[in-house]
Structure 1
Amino acid sequence: MENQKIFNKSFLFIFTSNFLIFIGFEMLLPILPAYMISLDASPIQVGLVTTLFTVGAVLIRPFAGYFLIDNKRKALAIVASAMLMLITFVYPFLNIIWMLLLLRLFHGAAWGVSTTANSTMAVDSIPKSRLGEGLGYFSVSTTVGAIIAQSLGIFIYDFYSFDIVIWSSVILSLLALTALLFVKSSVPVKREKAPFRFFDMIFERNAWFPALLTVISTLGFGAIITFLVVFGEQQNLDNIFLFFLVNATVSTLLRPYTGKWYDRNGPWSIIIVSAILGFLSLVVLSFATNDFYLIISAILFGAGYGTVMPCLQTWAVQNVSEEKSGAANATFFSSFDVGVGVSAFILGMLAEWVSIEMIFRIVSFSFLVVAVLVYKDYLNKKK
């Protein structure tokens, strides 16, 4: 009989490793632009810091997903974690801008492999009947890690130096690598697999619908990370950090209940309800003039978007055979990256013409589109 325990030894070590990796990576995000500017980088070059990283992650994930079909997941995760540590170590020794940009491309590639391999091992360690609940718990390692990391990175950079930030990230990566050594990872059964086709592997065919929903859902998240700080300055919201703190707290506290809801009833009802909450959160945010509205918006966003994303990842994995879970995870994360990249580009142009409040209201409809598409899928499955 299948062991129904989620918090087994392997899951706990994968969770810990992923948590440390996310802190080590995310703490670099808010300070790299400032570091590039200190090297006299142009605005375009500063923008390429994020763009090249995304390109590296998206391009490598199809290869990682294909490799994970019938190879040792643990070995790939260890190699990727080691590469993250070594690449981070190199940053202070490069003061030539084009070399730093090239390094960002490789950093994105290592990140793409690491996140894909870790998530696939997490799927392997979770009882299949509790996959929604288990991936909900696992996603806490990313959300909480990201929230802690950016504040930590800014604090260390302001009070110490860029080099200390780098060394902190390297140490965290080393600890993450150590945690992976204690994971007991299953080896997929060797079987005949289709030849590698890059464009087929970018989006695993059987996971296309959750992937599409991920891209659409991420438009709202892209608006938040792109414009919230600027919006806070415009509206004189001094405690904008409350949005990130409350959002992460709510989404984390709800994970045990939303995961069980998914496992009992499937993806349709929970995603529809969560998408509607996501829509309401951005509408409320667009009218925020004080901390009360900001906190209400954060609660709704944590319950909405914070629930939609792990549900979509679970749905993507469940739509494929077990040996293709790596390809499904690669598809999910690539869809997330594409959504963030597309939203930053489109909304950046839109901001030339309309206010940030209007951008939040326009993007809020993306969640309603998700709800409608999921409802139509439910009706088709019901037939």
Structure 2
Amino acid sequence: MENQRILNKSFLFIFISNFLIFIGFEMLLPILPAYMISLDASPIQIGLVTTLFTIGAVLIRPFVGYFLIDNKRKALAIGASALLMIITLVYPFLNIIWMLLLLRFFHGTAWGVSTTVNSTIAVDSIPKSRLGEGLGYFSISTTVGAIIAQSLGIFIYGFYSFDIVIWSSVILSLLAFIALLFVNSHAPIKKEKEPFRFFEMIFEKSVWFPALLTVITTLGFGAIITFLVVFGEQQNLDNVFLFFLVNATVSTLLRPYTGKWYDRKGPWSIIIVSAILGFLSLVVLSFATNDFHLIIAAILFGAGYGTVMPCLQTLAVQNVSEEKSGAANATFFSSFDVGVGVSAFIFGILAEWISLEMIFRIASFSFLVVAVLVYKDYLNKKNK
């Protein structure tokens, strides 16, 4: 660690790189369903766009987590960034559905490496006494980066073309690659580590509870990134990008306060309040018929989902030793991807039978489940 400040050189450059990577990658997410529809894909195939990506990310992360126990992080981060850029370049050359689905699998593996190692570098650069606040700031690069990406992707796709979206993503990935060159990263002290066991590494037992909460929370997020653009078309909402833009703004403005709230009062109260706001956001969204409804839903989602996720990541990292922070991050992001993938697959099937409004209402209950589980955990710890 360079010093006791959160905003040190390594933190700033890994933040910038991760921010650009998330924008470059996730600007494709709301566009791919619409692009797949243009290729006459079925709702189930649209769901597989996210599901196969998730499988690739989840399968690779145990190996990444194990590697990070006693190896330098920077080289792996640079390699993953370059691979993301190369894979993105291939999309315009594929117009056969099964080939696109296969590409999504490999894209998921590169994404799994990048997100895991970048977050581990960030953890290394944050003073442990300010981990909640530091990861709260760092999560702006993920949640806000992803949210800005949705608006940017929709805007470029609507006014230009899919190919322009791809080239925009490639340029952002290149800038992210350059930023990584300025990161200073150290390897943990060499220790004798246990032999690699895939199923143990895919799920770090010490973080099972935040991992479970992450899966449940991202069910709602998965419904939004999979179907919001299509929902907007059905409801004649011409400014769907407003949802992501307002969401990003609210999440960013609240982050300094929510991170300090976590460090001072613990995870329970902030997660419960945020989960309730997430529930309300999806309910409002399901009834949206104009821009005002979209903005209200976005404000609630930014305050809710945008706060819950960094809290859960901090909780996961705090449950393990420093050398296992890579494994904890791998489990956290795998849980995120599993939640999004399961959401896209299940709701993709349900979309054959029920309306998108009903899908958002069903997804909203995932936030209530999180609030109940966290409150129960609080009572259990209080009574010990």
TM-score, scaled to structure 1: 0.91
Q: Among the aligned pairs, what percent are the same residue?
A: 90
Report the residue type matching 2:360 in the other structure: F
Residue 221 of structure 1 is matched in structure 2 by: 221
What is the CA deviation profile of residues 197-227 of structure 1, one whole-angstrom value per residue up to 9, with x for unaligned ones?
1111111100100000011111221222233
Q: How far apart, in 2, do the equivalents of 1:378 and 1:46 lie? A: 39
1:323-362 matches, cutoff 5 A: 323-362=323-362
| Contact 2:157 2:165 (C-alpha < 8 Å) held by counterparts | yes
Q: 1:43 to 1:198 in 2, by over 3 A?
A: same
1:272 offset after TM fit, Å?
1.1
Residues 5-14 or 24-33, more deviating: 24-33
Q: Distance in 2 between matches of 1:320 and 1:214?
A: 17
Aligned to 2:130: 130
Other-structure match for 1:260: 260
1:255-282 per-residue CA deviation (whole Å, 9 max, x = no partner) reads 0000000011111111111111112222
Change in Cα spacing, 1:99 to 1:327, as seen in structure 2 (3 Å) is: same
Residue 241 of structure 2 aligns with which residue? 241
What is the CA distance between 1:112 and its match in structure 2?
A: 0.6
Q: Which residue of 1 aligns with 2:180?
A: 180
- Offset of residue 352 of structure 1: 4.2
1:75 to 1:300, Cα distance in 2 relative to 1, 3 A: same
Counterpart CA distance in 1 for 2:353 and 2:38 is 31
Change (3 A) 1:304 1:85: same
Between 1:54-63 and 1:239-248, the stretch displaced more is: 239-248
Q: Which moved more, 1:318-327 or 1:242-251?
A: 242-251
Cα contact 2:148–2:244 (8 A) shared by 1: no
Aligned-pair CA distance for 1:348: 3.0
Q: Spell out the pairing of 1:1-383 with structure 2 (5 A cutoff).
A: 3-32=3-32, 47-93=47-93, 98-157=98-157, 162-382=162-382, 383=384
| TM-aligned CA distance change 1:166 to 1:65, over 3 Å | same
Alpha-carbon distance, 1:284 to partner: 2.6
Matched residue of 2:5: which SS? coil
Q: More displaced, 335-344 or 202-211?
A: 335-344
Q: 1: distance between equivalents of 2:347 and 2:317?
A: 30
CA contact (8 A) 1:262 1:270 kept: yes
Matched residue of 1:187: which SS? Answer: coil
Shift of 1:247: 1.3
The structural deviation recorded for 1:378 is 1.3
Q: What's the CA shift for 1:74? A: 1.0
- Of residues 305-314 and 282-291 in structure 1, the stretch that sits farther from structure 2 once superposed is 282-291
CA contact 1:4–1:130 (8 Å) conserved in 2: no
Any stretches of 5+ residues in structure 2 without a counterpart?
A: none
User: 2 CA distance for matches of 1:94 and 1:288?
Assistant: 35
More deviation, 38-47/350-359:
38-47
Q: Give yes or no for contact 1:133–1:260 (8 Å, CA) kept in 2.
A: yes
RMSD: 2.5
Q: Distance in 1 between matches of 2:304 and 2:9?
A: 30
C-alpha distance in 1 between matches for 2:244 and 2:355 = 22
2:359 aligned partner, one-letter code:
I
Q: Which moved more, 1:340-349 or 1:150-159?
A: 150-159
Q: Quick check: 2:147–2:247 contact (8 Å CA) kept in 1?
A: no
Q: Distance in 1 between matches of 2:344 and 2:317?
A: 27
Q: Is the 8 A contact 1:2 1:127 kept in 2?
A: no
Task: Give, in whole Å, the separation in 2 of the partners of 1:236 and 1:342.
Answer: 28
Q: In the aligned structure 1, how far is the partner of 2:379 from the partner of 2:272? A: 13
Structure 1 residue 127: deviation in Å? 1.0
Answer yes or no: is the 8 Å Cα contact 1:6–1:125 preserved in 2. yes
Q: How many Å separate the matches in 2 of 1:235 and 1:343?
A: 22
Q: Quote how far apart the aligned CAs of 1:99 are.
A: 4.5
1:144 Cα shift?
Answer: 2.9
Mapped to 2, the partners of 1:291 and 1:43 lie a distance apart of 26
Change beyond 3 A, Cα 1:365–1:298: same
- CA shift, 1:72, in A, is 0.6
